[in-house]
Amino acid sequence: MSTVHIPRLDLDTYIHGTPEQRKAFSDAIGDAFNTTGFVTITNHGLSKELIDNLYTQVQKLFALPDAVKQKYEIPELAGQRGYTGKGKETAKGFKVPDLKEFWQIGQTVTDGDAVKDQYPDNVLVDELPEFNDVTFEVYSKLEAAGKSLLQAISVYLGLDEHYFDKHVNNGNSILRTLHYFGIEDPDSLPADAVRAGAHEDINLITLLIGASADGLELLTRENTWFPVSAHGEDVVVNVGDMLQRLTNGKLKSTTHRVVNPPLELMKNSRFSVPFFLHPRSDMDLTSLESCIDAEHPKQFSDMTAGEYLDERLREIGLKK
């Protein structure tokens, strides 16, 4: 198995550090995103108590009867708000749906920004008011951490530190609570059924708050799979396709997957909560001129974030 170095970085040293500490953080996250596409982050603004309560609420949500959850499934929202049931999402290039169900929370615009009209309202769980409150708080804290991370990435790219600020202010970000449900009879599954097929994320960056069990793996440059795990309450951060397009492949949107556990553990559930940081839909993802040269010719067609998201949602079966 390949050995991959995934650096563990302290976000507080960028937000409140000396100029030297801030530069060191920016260089480190840029170097990691230039190679593996993954880092883990400490001091991200979420307390252990908040994370523990989040996972308590997530488990309560998915323990609700299927009939209750299904009343929150709104097909015309393409999985972008509320509940999405089992067998609905299929990784690009796969024929068998992932072994998961999920709930998505989107942006809440409170400052009169006209972009509010582009977003559907969030779906609230009547049976679990604390779930609504906790996920809103987690969304806000991860959005703030993500903005700071993008500022560090901007510096690494030689851009103005606040290059992304206007693009992600009231951006189309998503907090997804995931349940990889247990399987009582693994022999009944199709041979290639997995918890999450190999894929790349759509967005700018993803911030993942741990998980209740192992299973996340990234694809190395040597084309081997390497397990990724967070230390304690660390957040795992990876590059998405939108940032890869913008940087003409300089920053890597690394392929990753969630593998099935050993057969004797297949009946156990796995819970996970990623935050997909998206820009506003009108952000131009045309590759930066500074990332294009004779050795690195332009790889990607020009499109907006909204156009790219629409294309990808259709590819994974959430939008018809």
Q: What's the pLDDT tens digit per position in 123-141?
A: 999 999 999 999 999 999 9
CATH assignment at residue 287: 2.60.120.330
| Structure letter (DSSP) for residue 98 | P
**pLDDT 10s digits, 196-211:** 888 899 999 999 997 6
Mean pLDDT of the chain: 92
Do the domain assignments include residue 3?
no
**pLDDT 10s digits, 106-117:** 999 999 999 999
Distance CA 182, CA 188 (A): 13
Do the domain assignments include residue 167?
yes
**Span 287-310, average pLDDT:** 95
Give the count of domains, the chain: 1
pLDDT at site 3:
67
33: nearest Cα among 167, 156, 208, 164? 156
Backbone φ, ψ for residue 293 (5° rounding): -155, -175
CA 159 to mean position of chain CA atoms: 24
Distance CA 223, CA 227 (A): 13
The number of residues in the chain equals: 320
| Structure letter (DSSP) for residue 184 | S
| Structure letter (DSSP) for residue 287 | P
**pLDDT 10s digits, 305-318:** 999 999 988 887 77
pLDDT at site 1:
45
User: What are the E-state strand segments in the chain?
Assistant: 8-10, 38-42, 82-84, 101-105, 174-180, 196-199, 205-211, 216-219, 225-227, 235-239, 256-258, 270-277
pLDDT at 152 > cutoff 90? yes
Given a contact cutoff of 8 angstroms between Cβ atoms, the answer to whether 90 and 198 are in contact is no
Per-residue tokens: 186: 């693994």
CA angle (185 as vertex; 257, 216 as ends), nearest 5: 15
Task: Provide the domain limits for residue 301.
Answer: 8-315
In the numeric block, the tokens 């170095």 are attached to 5
Do the domain assignments include residue 1?
no
Distance CA 128, CA 110 (A): 23
Do the domain assignments include residue 109?
yes
Do the domain assignments include residue 169?
yes
129-156 and 48-63 are packed helices; what angle lies between their axes, rounded to 10 degrees?
A: 130
CA angle (263 as vertex; 261, 267 as ends), nearest 5: 80
Do the domain assignments include residue 58?
yes
**Proportion of the chain above pLDDT 90, given as a percent:** 71
pLDDT at site 196:
82
pLDDT at site 228:
87
In the numeric block, the tokens 């700018």 are attached to 204
Per-residue tokens: 48: 């252990």
| pTM for the structure as a whole | 0.93
Do the domain assignments include residue 2?
no
Do the domain assignments include residue 147?
yes
19-35 and 129-156 are packed helices; what angle lies between their axes, rounded to 10 degrees?
A: 100
| Structure letter (DSSP) for residue 43 | -
pLDDT at 245 > cutoff 70? yes
Radius of gyration for the chain, computed over Cα atoms and rounded to the nearest angstrom: 19
In the numeric block, the tokens 């779930």 are attached to 131
